[in-house]
Structure 1
Amino acid sequence: MTEISSHLRDLKESLPDNCTLVAVSKTKPASDVLEAYEAGQRDFGENKVQELTQKAEELPKDIRWHMIGHLQRNKVKYIADFVHLIHGVDSLKLLKEINKQGRKAGRIIDCLLQMHIAEEDTKFGLDSEELNEILNGEQLKEMENVRILGLMGMATFTEDLDQVRREFKSLKSLYDEIKNSDHINVQMNTLSMGMSGDYEIALEEGSNMVRIGSAIFGSRS
């Protein structure tokens, strides 16, 4: 058993059954992705469009590719016909572009709305006012080629685990609130929070999708 498949097996054994593991393969060679694929992993996350399209071209076609990084509107067209889930929708303009490219590709593109929950300014994401504008606005109702499946958020990169827990808790509470209300083109079933350093806290706070890279592939070069 290789190191990658061994890490994967240990990780999957520690995750609850309802949790989807997205193996974050950014900056890793296609050979590493293939190793994880051969160990049974199918969901992989990339944060750069160029790297995502390149790997999608080279690797098995039944891989579910997740776009987890900040997505620029002019790059949506390159992934619209195959991306499994876009995690980082952080504006109405981006959502409109995804809908437009989904229409051209003849498919509905699944998305998560990225919330800004961290105390750092470097993280992208919507605030609650912008979220309400998207969910309750008329424009979403007319978008037939996007489907919002949930929320995504990144906690502050800090040693203060209580702060991380508070941030995850606030996102879960928001997720529950939306899940219990009725919106067109919204099917709340995915809460993507937690990475290699904080996924255990995220799981305790209700995450059902974790994005893990270094704990599978080793630290990035």
Structure 2
Amino acid sequence: MSISEQLARVRASLPEGVRLVAVSKTHPAEAIREAYEAGQRLFGESRPQELRAKYEELPKDIEWHMIGHLQTNKVKYIAPFVQMVESVDSARLAEALQREADKCGRQLDILLEIHVADEETKSGWEPDELREYLASEPFAAMPALRVRGVMGIATNTDDEEVIRRDFLALKSLFDELRPRFGADFDTLSMGMSHDYPLAVACGSTLVRVGSLIFGERDYSKTAAL
């Protein structure tokens, strides 16, 4: 099945109001172009240099999301053009994004990445840690950032109840924080190729789907990026 056919199948499975991030990390620009020509405009990448290279090569009306762990010294590669950084997992990263977005004279949309999985390797704020940070009203001093919502990754397991628990925890925190940030706080990014239907059932407004659209990743092609 072609990329355009697989993309159409994923799109057809999403209810109105749920946006699709086509996760194109490690896939070549030609694959992204095929999805673009099929009407997809929102793509997600996890490596800043790879994202920058694809931005330079591909149409400029693509909406790029940074979805992977982002080091503060790599922010400069993507700050001039990325639409949203979904993986803001620390105060240091938020501050770096504020500095670079301000240098570029633009406002940058971000999501706060929350750690809910039963895996220490997953990044993100612990909920209580985030509450403590937000109590100091840090974003009042970061006008170049617009907090749009939260993102998270469920535990990597076949146990649907564990996954559901993680998604409901994210939805609960999203609902808790929404009054603090107001109408712009409208994005709950959760759900990937293997679990996005459950994420949607739990309230996701943005799903990140890669392998169901592009096939399995070929890491060897991007090892040098």
Compute the TM-score of the two structures, normalised by the length of structure 1.
0.96
- Runs in 1 of length 4+ with deviation above 4 angstroms? none
- Counterpart for residue 167 of structure 1: 166
1:134–1:140 CA contact under 8 A, matched in 2: no
Match of 2:180 among 159, 179, 182: 182
Between the aligned partners of 2:135 and 2:90, the Cα distance in structure 1 is 14
Counterpart of 2:208, as a letter, is R
Between the aligned partners of 1:129 and 1:166, the Cα distance in structure 2 is 17
1:135–1:183 CA contact under 8 A, matched in 2: no
Between the aligned partners of 1:171 and 1:54, the Cα distance in structure 2 is 32
2:109–2:147 CA contact under 8 A, matched in 1: yes
Sequence identity percentage: 52
- Counterpart for residue 206 of structure 1: 203
| Structure 2 residues without counterparts, runs of 5 or longer | 219-225
2:147–2:181 CA contact under 8 A, matched in 1: no
**1:46-195 equivalence runs, <5 A:** 46-179=45-178, 181-183=179-181, 187-195=184-192
Between the aligned partners of 1:132 and 1:192, the Cα distance in structure 2 is 19
CA, structure 1 residues 21+183, in 2 after alignment: closer, same or farther (shift >3 Å)? closer
1:136–1:183 CA contact under 8 A, matched in 2: no
| Structure 1 residues without counterparts, runs of 5 or longer | none
Aligned length: 218
Q: 1:182 deviation in Å? A: 2.6
Compute the TM-score of the two structures, normalised by the length of structure 2.
0.94
Between the aligned partners of 2:72 and 2:155, the Cα distance in structure 1 is 26
Between the aligned partners of 2:83 and 2:187, the Cα distance in structure 1 is 13
Between the aligned partners of 2:110 and 2:137, the Cα distance in structure 1 is 18
1:47–1:69 CA contact under 8 A, matched in 2: yes
Q: 1:5 deviation in Å? A: 0.4
